[in-house]
A and B are shown apart, each in its own frame.
Chain A
Amino acid sequence: NSIIGDHYRWPHTIPYVLEDSLEMNAKGVILNAFERYRLKTCIDFKPWSGEANYISVFKGSGCWSSVGNIHAGKQELSIGTNCDRIATVQHEFLHALGFWHEQSRADRDDYVTIVWERILADREHNFNIYNDSVSDSLNVPYDYNSVMHYSKTAFQNGTESTIITRISDFEDVIGQRMDFSDYDLLKLNQLYNCTSSLSFMDSCDFELENICGMIQSSRDTADWQRVSQVLGGPENDHSNMGQCKDSGFFMHFNTSTGNEGAKAVLESRVLYPKRGFQCLEFYLYNSGSGNDQLNIYTREYTAGHQDGVLTLQREIKEIPTGSWQLYYVTFKVTEKFRVVFEGLGGPDASSGGLSIDDINLSETRCPHHVWHIQNFTQLLGGQNINVYSPPFYSPEGYAFQISMYIEALTNVGIYFHLISGANDDQLQWPCPWRQATMTLLDQNPDIRQRMSNQRSITTDPTMTNDNGSYFWDRPSKVGVVASFPNGTQYSRGRGYGTSVFITHKRLKSREFIKGDDLYVLLTVEDISHLNSTAAVPDPVPTSTVQNACSEVECQNGGICTVQDGRPECKCPAGEDWWYMGKRCETRGSTRDTIVIAVSSTVTVFAVMLIITLVSVYCTRRRYRKKASANAAAMNLENQHAF
Chain B
Amino acid sequence: APEKFVKDIDGGLDQDIFDINEDLGLDLFEGDIRLEAHGR
Contacts and interface: CB of A to CB of B under 8 A. Distances in A.
Interface stretch (A255-263, A491-499, A627-635): A491-499
A71 B16 CA distance: 29
A306 to B, nearest CB: 55
Given A65-B33, A66-B36, A175-B16, A82 B10 contact: yes
Nearest to A411: B14
Interface size class of B (residues with CB under 8 A): 20 to 34
Contacts of B15: 82
Given A61-B24, A497-B6, A126 B31 contact: yes
Interface stretch (A147-155, A323-331, A363-371, A525-533): A147-155
Interface string B1-23: 01101111110111111101110
Interface residues of A, number: 56
Contacts of B5: 480, 492, 494-495
Nearest to B13: A500
B8 A67 contact: no
Interface of A: 3, 61-68, 70, 72, 76, 80-83, 88, 91-92, 95, 100-101, 104, 120, 122-123, 126, 130, 134, 150-151, 153-155, 175, 177, 384-386, 403, 405, 411, 413, 415, 457, 471, 480, 492, 494-500, 503
Contacts of B6: 403, 405, 413, 415, 494-497, 499
Contacts of B17: 62-63, 83, 88, 91-92, 177
Interface of B: 2-3, 5-10, 12-18, 20-22, 24, 26-36, 38-40
A70 B31 contact: no
Determine which residue in A64, A80, A151, A386 has the highest number of CB atoms from chain B within 10 A of its CB, and name it: A64
Nearest to B6: A495
20 contacts: A61-B24, A61-B26, A64-B28, A65-B33, A66-B34, A91-B17, A92-B32, A95-B32, A155-B22, A155-B31, A385-B2, A386-B3, A403-B6, A405-B6, A413-B6, A413-B8, A498-B10, A499-B6, A500-B13, A500-B14
Given A83-B17, A134-B40, A405-B2, A500 B12 contact: yes
A386 B2 CA distance: 5
A-B pairs with the 8 shortest C-beta distances?
A: A495-B6, A500-B14, A386-B2, A62-B21, A64-B32, A498-B10, A70-B36, A415-B6
B26 A126 contact: no
A88 B28 CA distance: 16
B2 to A, nearest CB: 4
Given A63-B21, A83-B17, A177-B16, A499 B8 contact: yes
Determine which residue in B5, B22, B28, B39 has the highest number of CB atoms from chain A within 10 A of its CB, and name it: B5
Given A65-B32, A499-B12, 4 more contacts: A81-B20, A95-B32, A496-B6, A498-B8
A500 B7 contact: no
